[in-house]
């Protein structure tokens, strides 16, 4: 997953900034040459690396000025450093024209790898779009609980047509037509995630896939739609403005379930959805749709269980505010910039809640349609209505989705025999171990999903009665 100071907010902001570049088509007589745009993009990145936030923001067009302030840009860069390590230099600069848009890719070298920074220009050579790519870090090193000789991986396509997604099916070697295995669909958190849900130096979904496959459970993971089709979305303002969690997440998760039903080595009656963060928040809706569809439509999309890892139970806007306040207070001192940032986010949240967003307006990194959809969704109520087995997992050190969220789940689902809950005292939002207060810096240090978590999920799946 790209950089993030908030699992929800930052990635949405970056995606929105990419959308703002949609009107930046090449004029018949460009005001700047290719070489000049390359220099502007390079100067922009260097200004950020030197902490010259006002200088960097002076290069923005009017839409970007409204979308991101100097303090917000500082926070984005600071969180990039927390994942990629100390800034070193500009390694490469490359110009491109993408479907009529002028773009410069600046490859920045950091201590832990390189990051492609995409800078989109408008007709007046102002920066109209910005994208921080994933950290190209060191090669993945599997955790000790993985036994690579017990499984194979196959490339697979989730869905079809316009939004077909490349994915990976991790299949136990023991699986066969006569000895079918249980299977899992992994559903990402917010933002344009890859199939491994890469965060800094870590790949939690790859850990889960390889760990569960080592226990004889198949796992399907795939590129998120907003990751695989970010270019197409950036070039279609209408598509971007109408994007909701249905298109971002839910449709593809249901398609993944449908696909697993067709794999001959997989037991179609033992398919479980495992959602993380926003994916966990949407898990009840995904389960509801799968179960409803199985009652009335072909093909069968029923699932046998739902695992919710770090699932927000509250309004997403309140979660964003809590995250922002937590990070501002980490050093024990909330400065004027941080106070202004908190105030701005609270005001934006109130505007969204009031229903006063205009069509095409971006607030907190998303359009009206996206917020309207989320505000109309009550994940706790939907979960209460489900009768399939549900497993809720929570790390006590998670500052992004906190124990306050878990307390709501506990109260709402108390007494339901189909619900199990487990808490891990030393785990963070990625279900990786640590000590003390959790910070974004943890994500830049290579680690792995806790073996206890992988074992708990595996044992729970195996305990689900076969219908």
pLDDT greater at residue 333 or residue 252: 252
State the average pLDDT for the chain. 88
pLDDT at position 366, please?
85
Asked if residue 454 lies in contact with residue 425, where contact means CB atoms within 8 angstroms, the answer is no
d(CA 285, CA 378): 9
In whole angstroms, how far apart are CA 129 and each of 211, 227, 415?
Answer: 38, 16, 50
CA angle in degrees (0–180, nearest 5) for 427-6-40: 135
| Region(s) of the chain under CATH 3.40.50.1820 | 148-315+374-463
Model pTM? 0.80
Please state which CATH number belongs to domain 9-132. Answer: 3.10.450.590
In this prediction, residue 112 carries a pLDDT of: 76
| Nearest residue to 310 via CA among 279, 276, 287, 273 | 276
Q: What's the pLDDT tens digit per position in 327-356?
A: 889 888 888 888 988 998 999 999 999 988
Which parts of 30-110 are beta strand (E)?
A: 87-98, 101-110
* For helices 70-84 and 34-49, angle between their N-to-C axes, nearest 10 degrees: 80
Q: How confident is the model at residue 52 (pLDDT cuts 50, 70, 90)?
A: very high
pLDDT surpasses 80 at 8: no
Contact at 8 Å (CB) between 378 and 285? no
Of 279 and 230, more confident: 279
Instruction: Give me the pLDDT at residue 138, please.
Output: 59
Q: What is the mean pLDDT of residues 316-337?
A: 90
Residues labelled catalytic: 277, 398, 429
Direct distance between the N- and C-terminal alpha carbons of the chain, in angstroms, rounded to an integer: 36
200 has pLDDT over 90: no
The pLDDT of residue 326: 93
Quick one: tokens of 462? 């195996």
- Mean pLDDT, residues 220-237 taken together: 86
Mean pLDDT over 431-444 rounds to 89
In the chain, ranges of CATH 3.10.450.590 domains:
9-132
Q: What is the pLDDT of residue 68?
A: 86
pLDDT digits (tens, 9 = 90+) for 95-117: 988 756 789 999 998 877 788 89
Q: Which CATH class name applies to 148-315+374-463?
A: alpha beta
Percent of the chain topping pLDDT 70: 91
């Amino acid at each position: 997953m790209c950089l993030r100071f908030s699992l929800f907010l930052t990635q949405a902001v970056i995606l929105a900034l990419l959308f703002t570049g949609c009107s930046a088509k090449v004029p018949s007589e460009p005001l700047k040459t290719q070489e000049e745009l390359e220099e502007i993009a390079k100067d922009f990145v260097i200004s950020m690396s030197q902490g010259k936030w006002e200088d960097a923001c002076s290069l923005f067009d009017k839409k970007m000025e409204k979308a991101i302030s100097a303090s917000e840009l500082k926070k984005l860069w600071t969180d990039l450093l927390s994942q990629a390590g100390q800034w070193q230099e500009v390694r490469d600069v490359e110009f491109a024209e993408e479907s009529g848009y002028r773009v410069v890719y600046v490859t920045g070298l950091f201590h832990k790898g390189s990051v492609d920074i995409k800078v989109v220009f408008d007709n007046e050579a102002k920066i109209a779009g910005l994208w921080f790519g994933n950290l190209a870090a060191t090669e993945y090193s599997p955790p000790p609980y993985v036994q690579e000789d017990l499984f194979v991986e196959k490339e697979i396509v989730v869905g079809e047509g316009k939004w077909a997604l490349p994915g990976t099916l991790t299949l136990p070697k023991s699986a066969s037509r006569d000895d079918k295995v249980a299977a899992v669909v992994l559903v990402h958190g917010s933002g344009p995630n890859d199939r491994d849900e890469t965060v800094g130096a870590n790949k939690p979904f790859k850990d889960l896939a390889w760990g569960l496959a080592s226990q004889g459970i198949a796992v399907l993971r795939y590129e998120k739609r907003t990751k695989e089709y970010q270019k197409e979305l950036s070039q279609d303002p209408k598509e971007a403005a109408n994007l909701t969690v249905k298109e971002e997440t839910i449709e593809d998760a249901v398609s993944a379930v449908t696909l697993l039903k067709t794999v001959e080595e997989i037991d179609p009656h033992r398919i479980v959805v495992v959602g993380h963060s926003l994916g966990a928040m949407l898990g009840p809706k995904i389960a509801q749709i799968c179960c409803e569809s199985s009652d009335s439509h072909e093909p069968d999309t029923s699932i046998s269980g739902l695992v919710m890892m770090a699932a927000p139970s509250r309004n997403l806007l309140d979660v964003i505010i809590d995250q922002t306040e937590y990070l501002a207070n980490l050093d024990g001192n909330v400065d004027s910039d941080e106070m202004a940032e908190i105030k701005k986010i609270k005001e934006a949240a109130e505007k969204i809640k009031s229903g006063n967003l205009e069509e095409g307006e971006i607030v907190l990194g998303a359009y009206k349609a996206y917020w309207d959809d989320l505000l109309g969704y009550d994940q706790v109520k939907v979960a209460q209505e489900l009768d399939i087995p549900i497993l809720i997992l929570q790390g006590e050190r998670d500052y992004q989705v906190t124990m306050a969220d878990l307390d709501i789940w506990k109260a709402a689902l108390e007494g339901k025999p189909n619900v199990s809950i487990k808490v891990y005292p030393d785990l963070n939002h990625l279900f990786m171990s640590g000590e003390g207060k959790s910070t974004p810096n943890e994500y830049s240090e290579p680690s792995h999903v806790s073996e206890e978590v992988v074992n708990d999920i595996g044992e729970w799946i195996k305990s689900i009665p076969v219908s």
